[in-house]
Amino acid sequence: MLLISCPNCGPRDETEFHYGGQAHIAYPENPNDLSDREWAEYLFYRENTKGTFAERWVHSTGCRQWFNMLRDTVSYDIHSIYAMGQPRPDTQSGLAPGAPTASAPTSSEGV
């Protein structure tokens, strides 16, 4: 069981949270202009990083707020927790080769 530090409520058991998948996926700026391929990317394609992964969680049975988290998908260690809308913290050292870094869109994300 993961012990997750909600930014509002402090450390709580994983069972109080729900997983929201990859973080920093922006809603398409011009949905009408997307090709089928781009829609597929937006809807179905997500990074599946082996290593440090930026993901979203919601504290469903607590404050019900969403937040972002950097977690290692192999060791399950949590590296950092940061607010929605914040860019992904720089943790170059812990990155798996090829993991999305600065190129991942970090602005204008939704929840």
Partner 1 sequence: MSADHLPEHPDFLWRNPDPKKSYDAVIVGGGGHGLATAYFLAKNHGMTNIAILEKGWLAGGNMARNTTIIRSNYLWDESAAIYEHALKLWEILPEELEYDFLFSQRGVMNLAHTLGDVRESVRRVGANRLNGVDAEWLDPQQVKELCPILNINDNIRYPVMGATYQPRAGIAKHDHVAWAFARKCDELGVDIIQNCEVTGFIKDGNRVTGVKTTRGDINTEKVGLCAAGHSSVLAEMAGFRLPIQSHPLQALVSELHEPVHPTVVMSNHVHVYVSQAHKGELVMGAGVDSYNGYGQRGSFHVIEEQMAAAVELFPIFARAHVLRTWGGIVDTTLDASPIVGLSPVENMFVNCGWGTGGFKGTPAAGLTFAHTIATGAPHKLNKPFALERFETGALIDEHGAAAVAH
Residues that bind Zn ion (CB under 5 A): 6, 8-9, 59, 62-63
Question: Which of partner 1, Zn ion, none interacts with 55 (beta carbon under 5 to 8 A by kind)?
Answer: partner 1
> Could you tell me the two tokens for 80?
């950092």
Question: Which of partner 1, Zn ion, none interacts with 50 (beta carbon under 5 to 8 A by kind)?
Answer: partner 1
> Could you tell me the two tokens for 71?
């977690």
Q: Which residues bind partner 1 (CB under 8 A)?
A: 1-2, 13-15, 18-19, 21, 36-37, 39-41, 43-46, 48-50, 53, 55, 71, 73-76, 98
Beta-carbon contacts of 51 under 8 Å, excluding residues fewer than 6 positions away, are 72, 73, 74, 94, 95, 96, 97, 99
